[in-house]
Amino acid sequence: MSEERPLRTIRSFVRREGRLTPGQQQAIDNLWGKYAIDEGDSILDLNALFNRDAPKVLEIGFGNGASLIKMAISQPEHDFLGVEVHRPGVGQLLKAIEEHGLTNLKVACTDAVELLKNRITDNALDRLQLYFPDPWHKKRHHKRRIIQASFVTLLTEKIKSGGHLHMATDWQHYAEQMLDDLSQNDLFQNCSDDGGYIERPDYRPLTKFEQRGINLGHGIWDLLYKRK
C-alpha cells in the first residue's frame, strides 16, 4: 500500500522565481538588512520599523515595485510595507528604495496571508492595497484566489476602523467575485456611490502593464472599501 501524503496547504501565490539580474542580486545581498524584513514569527512593531507614528499602508504583490515606489515618493506622510514573493521584483524594489533614499518603504519577501495572520497586529493598517492579483482564471483554480470570504474576515481585523481596502483587477469575473465577497461582510462599506466600482484614484499610479491593457481595450476594475 502506498504511503499517504499530507495534504498541501493552498497558497494564494505560485513562486515564479525567474532569474535575478546581477544588480537585483547585489541589491538583495547589500540592502536587505537596511530595507527588508527577515522571515520569522515575531510580531512586527510597525512604528518601530519606520521610527515614527504615521499611517501604515500594506501592499500585497507589488511586482517590480514601480508603482509602489511612486506612491512612497508622492505620499511621504505614509509608511509603506510591500510584500512580494518574486525575488527579482524584491531586488528591483530594493535598488529603487536606495536610489531614491526613501525611509518610508520596507519590503517583505514572504506569504502575505501568513504575514497578516501571524505578524501584523489587529487594527495596525490604515490601508491595504491589492493590485492585479493572480486571477486564477480557470474555474477549478478559483479557490486559489487570495480574495475569499475568510481572507476578507482577516482583513477586518488588521485594517483599523476608518481604514481602507483598495483592490484593482483587469479580470472582470474576479472583480465581480471581489464585489460579492466584500458585500457579504458587514464590516466593510463600499465607497462607490452606486455600490460598485470606482475610478482609479490619483494615488494609484497607472502602470505600463495596465496602460498596455487599456490600449488593447481591456477593462480595469477598482474597488474601494472603508472599514466601519
**Residue from 204, 219, 197 nearest 70 by CA:** 204
Contact 188, 211 (CB under 8 A): no
Give the CA distances from residue 24 to residues 28, 91, 96, 101, in Å, rounded to whole numbers and listed in that order. 6, 4, 10, 17
What is the crossing angle of helices 112-119 and 149-158, to 10°? 40
Which residues are CB-neighbours of 31 under 8 A, at least 6 positions away? 94, 95, 97, 98
How far is the C-alpha of 202 from the C-alpha of 205, rounded, in Å?
A: 7
Residue 110, helix vs strand vs coil: coil
**Residue from 60, 56, 58, 41 nearest 147 by CA:** 60
What positions carry a catalytic annotation? 134
Question: Nine-digit cell at 65?
Answer: 515595485
Q: What is the CA radius of gyration of the chain?
A: 18
Half-sphere exposure (CA, 13 Å, Cβ side) for 65?
Answer: 29
